Amino acid sequence: MWYWLFKYVLLGPVLFALGRPRIEGAHHLPAHGPAILASNHQAVMDSFYLPLRAPRRITFLAKSEYFTGTGPIGRFQEWFFTAVGQVPIDRTGADAAADALAAGLRVLDDGNLLGIYPEGTRSPDGRLYKGKTGMARMALASGVPVIPVAMIGTAKLNPIGSRLPRPTKIVVRIGEPIDFSRFNGMAGNRFVERAVTDEVMYKLMQLSGQEYVDVYAASLKAPAPNDPARPGTAAVQ
């Protein structure tokens, strides 16, 4: 219930006023059944504007830090992400990747749409970075299609480090579903996983118009020795 209240009553109208979001290619989204929505990631607002324009509910895997904060802000944050149906993922344990994979597969097994950012974190400079293979493992294990999604304009509305949004024009561009059934029975093959990931990233590059960089975005965000680790976006490695 809270998901739809936030979308249509409590938060959605404000987001519409700030971003005037337009969706392109909405017919590529299935009316029912599971699918993976693989999106580029330029700003925190990606996780708001994609669900806002998609006709179906989308579940994202969210880092567990969003659910473990303290004080009034921490409690509100935990309630908010729980209310809108996001799934917490602990990225620090030895089994983090396996746990994230299992959580994603549960979402798909229930017939839902799963949102994933293959880059693993926000782009530090607006370019598109090398994808991690967790998305491919989910696609191969579940057999569901992968739908590429390009978020355009969110970095202008919500630049990294900004506190207040800057009104602009947002475009949510949905690409054609990619069927990887040709790789049936090859789940667990790391070369196939890389091929699947790279195919999706190529489609994202075409949809978004971003320059592609063949390194992981997280490698550019690594803190210096003895500096506290920087927070990032939950992702399957």
- Judged against a pLDDT cut of 60, whether residue 22 lies above it is answered with yes
Cβ 204 vs Cβ 38: under 8 Å:
yes
Distance in angstroms (rounded) separating the CA atoms of residues 217 and 228: 18
pLDDT digits (tens, 9 = 90+) for 104-120: 999 999 999 999 999 98
Contact 26, 174 (CB under 8 A): yes
pLDDT band at 62 (very low <50, low <70, confident <90, very high): confident
Q: What is the pLDDT of residue 79?
A: 86
Q: What is the pLDDT of residue 98?
A: 86
Lowest average pLDDT, out of 32-41, 92-101, 128-137, 227-236, goes to 227-236
What Å distances lie between residue 91 and 2, 39, 66, 94, 232, CA to CA? 26, 20, 12, 9, 10
pLDDT digits (tens, 9 = 90+) for 152-174: 999 999 888 888 889 999 999 99
Torsions phi, psi of 115, nearest 5?
-95, 130
Name the CATH superfamily housing domain 2-218.
Answer: Glycerol-3-phosphate (1)-acyltransferase (3.40.1130.10)
- 118: closest CA among 92, 151, 161? 151
Name the residue ranges covered by the structural domains of the chain: 2-218
